[in-house]
Amino acid sequence: MPRPRKGDRVELLTRPERVVSDKIKHLAAGHGMSVSQYVADLLAVHTGFPELVRELDHHKEVLPLAM
């Protein structure tokens, strides 16, 4: 059975340092999320679109996004 459509989404390829990738995988697993959805939710919050967050619990601590 096909998965439900998640909206107007596009693929975004990135190659973080291994230590960053390992941390993201660990954090995503801790939230019970796929890495893809975890990163998509973090990016939605970071770019000012918190309403597009699908799974990430806003009340729990997440990886800080400081520039």
Query: Using one digit for the tens of pLDDT, what is the confidence trace for 2-31?
Result: 777 778 889 999 999 999 999 999 999 999
Distances (CA, A) of 55 to 8, 18, 40: 16, 24, 10
pLDDT greater at residue 59 or residue 65: 65
The SS3 call for residue 49 is: coil
* pLDDT exceeds cutoff 80 at 34: yes
Write the pLDDT tens digit of every residue in 39-49.
Answer: 999 999 999 99
